[in-house]
């Protein structure tokens, strides 16, 4: 007997679900070179335009000169260095929590946190549209795992009634493929009423949301009692890489003791923490980035609505255009590509069946003229795609 991988791959192709990796041959930014072609891109998560910022690069280079290039060991052995520690302190202050813990990436932060907090005999309740890393974490934890209807506090309340043991309610802050916000005040009320803990992964909210970039929690003015477990990633608006979880002294100490993806891995390069310290400073102080981004979002939504595109309920930099059929989503993405624009088609299983979409993302690094170019191209391509849409 052997693995029949070729049949699986062929089926994936036949379903229009085959995935390929575009080769980026330039730094991240609005203007990129992909597979040899210069393109104007609207698909990265570099919402504030910091991934290729000269000061962040300089901080990384200076960090490498001072601290070398490798973490060298796990945090608990001898890999926890001064830049990691300083970044944790800065992230704690930024989030207004007693402590923060640095992880190598968001996937590991989510796996580590959920599995450290709940296990057999406990309950984990998740929004059905949560990021894959949160859903995987819930399944891996061994706790009773249940998904409530998207952003529906009543559906959560019904599941909380049946929960047993320690109960963790888990949600994206900004939903990564839809761009809408979790109804955190309502979710927090339900969780608190039942003595459950709310964990929010605000990977896409830190930076663009809140007057100081403090994300969804700042946006809604929620306290640490409302959201005892607050996570974020550093590979999106921060422009670097890694992730963090912020919360009480006890929470962070528990993660250091019990979060296996924290314990059993090499620390991130200290120079990367130096770069993130700089990007955190820019994220907090350069308010014009958030303001400019807001204007681009309004411009895009106005223009897209005039074209008749189906947008989602989002005022964040994630502005998906709902298409439905995977084949059509790919065709529209390809048509844009021939006009020099890159917007990725997102298909199942990343999104539910029948809800393929073009995930447009905007960045403070874009100009109004670039957004207008996108709108012009969309108007043209959508007209040409229309006949088999009708």
Tell me how far, at minimum, the Cβ of 133 lies from ligand PLP, in Å.
Answer: 5
Tell me how far, at minimum, the Cβ of 340 lies from ligand PLP, in Å.
Answer: 26
Residues contacting residue 82 through CB under 8 Å, at least 6 positions apart: 67, 270
Which residues are identified as catalytic? 176, 204, 236
Tell me how far, at minimum, the Cβ of 56 lies from ligand PLP, in Å.
Answer: 17
Residue 163's CB is within 10 A of a number of other CB atoms, namely: 20
Question: Which residue's CB atom is positioned nearest to ligand PLP?
Answer: 106
Where on the chain is the footprint of ligand PLP (CB under 6 A)?
105-107, 110, 131, 133, 172, 176, 201, 203, 233, 235, 243
- C-beta closer to ligand PLP: residue 80 or 131: 131
Tell me how far, at minimum, the Cβ of 236 lies from ligand PLP, in Å.
Answer: 7
- C-beta closer to ligand PLP: residue 363 or 370: 363
- C-beta closer to ligand PLP: residue 255 or 381: 255
Torsion of CA 88, 124, 351, 298, to 10 degrees: -50
- C-beta closer to ligand PLP: residue 231 or 331: 231
**Sign of torsion, CA 63 67 68 70?**
negative
Distance of CA 370 to the CA centre of its chain: 24
Q: Which of 99, 129, 130, 98 is nearest to 114 (CA)?
A: 130
Q: How far apart are CA 34 and CA 302, in angstroms?
A: 29
């Amino acid at each position: 007997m052997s693995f029949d991988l070729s049949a699986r791959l062929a089926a994936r192709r036949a379903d229009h679900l085959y995935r390929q990796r575009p080769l980026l041959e330039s730094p991240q930014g609005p203007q990129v070179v992909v597979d040899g072609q210069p393109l104007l891109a609207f698909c990265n998560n570099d919402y504030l335009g910091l991934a290729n910022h000269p000061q962040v690069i300089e901080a990384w280079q200076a960090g490498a000169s001072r601290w070398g290039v490798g973490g060298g060991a796990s945090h608990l052995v001898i890999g926890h260095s001064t830049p990691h520690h300083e970044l944790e302190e800065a992230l704690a202050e930024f989030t207004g929590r007693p402590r923060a813990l640095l992880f190598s990436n968001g996937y590991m932060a989510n796996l580590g946190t959920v599995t450290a907090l709940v296990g057999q005999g406990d309950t984990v309740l998740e929004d059905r549209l949560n990021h894959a890393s949160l859903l995987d974490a819930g399944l891996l934890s061994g706790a009773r795992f249940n998904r409530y209807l998207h952003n529906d506090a009543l559906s959560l309340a019904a599941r909380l009634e049946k929960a047993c043991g320690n109960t963790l309610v888990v949600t994206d802050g900004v939903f990564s493929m839809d761009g809408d916000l979790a109804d955190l005040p309502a979710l927090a009320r339900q969780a608190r009423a039942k003595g459950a803990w709310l964990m929010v992964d605000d990977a896409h909210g830190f930076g663009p949301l809140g007057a100081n970039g403090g994300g969804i929690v700042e946006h809604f003015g929620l306290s640490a009692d409302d959201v005892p477990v607050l996570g974020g990633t550093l590979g999106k608006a921060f422009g670097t890489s890694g992730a963090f979880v912020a919360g009480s002294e006890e929470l962070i100490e528990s993660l250091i003791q019990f979060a296996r993806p924290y314990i059993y891995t090499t620390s991130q390069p200290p120079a990367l923490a130096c770069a993130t310290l700089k990007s955190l400073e820019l994220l907090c102080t350069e308010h014009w980035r958030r303001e400019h981004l807001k204007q681009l979002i309004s411009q895009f939504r106005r223009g897209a609505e005039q074209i008749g595109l189906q947008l989602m309920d989002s005022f964040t930099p994630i502005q998906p255009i709902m298409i439905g059929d995977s084949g059509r989503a790919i065709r529209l993405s390809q048509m844009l590509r021939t006009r020099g624009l890159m917007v990725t088609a997102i298909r199942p299983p990343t999104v539910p069946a029948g809800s393929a979409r073009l995930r447009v993302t905007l960045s403070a690094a874009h100009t109004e003229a670039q957004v207008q170019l996108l709108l012009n191209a969309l108007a043209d391509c959508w007209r040409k795609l229309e006949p088999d849409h009708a």
